């Protein structure tokens, strides 16, 4: 974007960008990146804020505001350079180095997660699989041997994993979370339907599929009853 003429005065927002991107903006960045990758795959070189916003499912004013946090303003009449904006979003999300992930709980969901090829495409490598069941430990899933929970610390140290995925039953999730924190991971994505306690230096994200279904059920019920 060298030599570009910004659509708006960027100075104030650039100063804000240095202060930190709001969490709601961070939550939308992966959607923008997905849309940008799709555009790049189609051979699109530049995109407008309207097109990118449409693909990402947000309003274009929201998109422009979000991207201003990255110091990205597009060029008047030209729009955004797809490749340049992709790398700006990747830098903002810390995706310039591959993150290593350990999965704990290799049952139905753990198998599916371990075999999911989309993680590698988006900068995440699954480097370790752990389970407590002796019948599961020692089996090979997605090219990795499942190891026992008491080897978690050694696995994290040897692989430099920074993220743990929890796919155990809810009853085991806090114990597993504690073990992951103790082993040194700083990010936890849990699929177990319960809240988890972590120290302040660790981030937790929860994917609660049943809760999402309940929200859909609520909207369906409201439509059906006119409430």
Ligand X SMILES: NC(=O)c1ccc[n+]([C@@H]2O[C@H](COP(=O)([O-])OP(=O)(O)OC[C@H]3O[C@@H](n4cnc5c(N)ncnc54)[C@H](O)[C@@H]3O)[C@@H](O)[C@H]2O)c1
Annotated binding site for NAD(+): 105-110
Please report whether residue 86 would count as binding ligand X according to CB under 6 A.
no
- If the CB atoms of residues 79 and 110 are measured against ligand X, the closer one turns out to be 110
- If the CB atoms of residues 142 and 172 are measured against ligand X, the closer one turns out to be 172
63 and 54 Cβ atoms separated by less than 8 Å: no
Helix axes 60-68, 23-41, angle to 10 degrees: 110
**Buried b vs exposed e over 213-224: b needs ≥16 C-beta within 10 Å?**
eeeeeeeeeeee
Taking residue 125's Cβ as centre, other Cβ atoms within 10 Å add up to 12
Q: To 5 degrees, how large is the angle CA 93–CA 35–CA 42?
A: 125
**Edge-to-edge strand order for the sheet containing 203-206?**
140-141, 144-148, 124-131, 99-104, 163-166, 187-190, 203-206
Distance in Å, CB of 197 to ligand X, minimum: 16
Please report whether residue 144 would count as binding ligand X according to CB under 6 A.
no
- If the CB atoms of residues 27 and 112 are measured against ligand X, the closer one turns out to be 112
Choose which of 74, 79, 105, 164 interacts with ligand X (CB under 6 A).
105
Name the one range near ligand X by CB under 6 A: 34-42, 55-63, 87-95, 105-113. Answer: 105-113
What single DSSP character describes residue 98? Answer: P
Please report whether residue 164 would count as binding ligand X according to CB under 6 A.
no
List of E strands, 32-123: 46-47, 80-81, 99-104
Choose which of 35, 161, 176, 183 interacts with ligand X (CB under 6 A).
176
Please report whether residue 73 would count as binding ligand X according to CB under 6 A.
no
| Among candidate residues 125, 122, 161, 162, the one with its CA nearest the CA of residue 142 | 125
Q: Binding site membership: which residues?
A: 105-110
- If the CB atoms of residues 205 and 222 are measured against ligand X, the closer one turns out to be 205
Distance in Å, CB of 187 to ligand X, minimum: 18
x-or-dash pattern for ligand X, window 187-206, by CB under 6 A? ----xxx-------------
Choose which of 74, 79, 110, 128 interacts with ligand X (CB under 6 A).
110
The residues that touch ligand X, with contacts defined as CB under 6 A, are 104-110, 130-133, 136, 149, 167-170, 172, 175-176, 191-193, 209
């Amino acid at each position: 974007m060298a030599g570009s003429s910004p659509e708006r005065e960027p100075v104030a927002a650039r100063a804000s960008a240095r202060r930190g991107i709001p969490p709601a903006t961070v939550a939308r960045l992966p959607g923008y990146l997905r849309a940008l990758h799709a555009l790049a795959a189609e051979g699109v070189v530049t995109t407008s804020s309207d097109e990118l916003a449409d693909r990402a499912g947000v309003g274009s004013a929201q998109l422009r505001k979000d991207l201003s946090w990255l110091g990205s303003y597009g060029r008047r009449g030209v729009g955004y350079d797809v490749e340049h904006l992709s790398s700006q979003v990747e830098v903002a999300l810390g995706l310039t180095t591959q993150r290593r992930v350990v999965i704990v709980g290799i049952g139905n969901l753990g198998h599916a997660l371990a075999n999911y090829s989309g993680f590698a495409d988006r900068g995440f490598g699954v480097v370790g699989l752990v389970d407590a069941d002796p019948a599961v430990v020692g089996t090979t899933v997605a090219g990795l041997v499942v190891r026992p929970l008491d080897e978690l610390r050694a696995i994290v140290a040897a692989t430099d994993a920074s993220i743990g995925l929890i796919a155990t039953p809810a009853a085991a999730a806090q114990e597993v979370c504690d073990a992951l924190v103790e082993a040194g991971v700083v990010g936890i994505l849990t699929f177990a339907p319960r809240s988890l306690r972590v120290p302040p230096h660790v981030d937790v994200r929860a994917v609660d599929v049943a809760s999402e279904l309940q929200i859909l059920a609520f909207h369906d019920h409201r439509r059906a009853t006119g409430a």
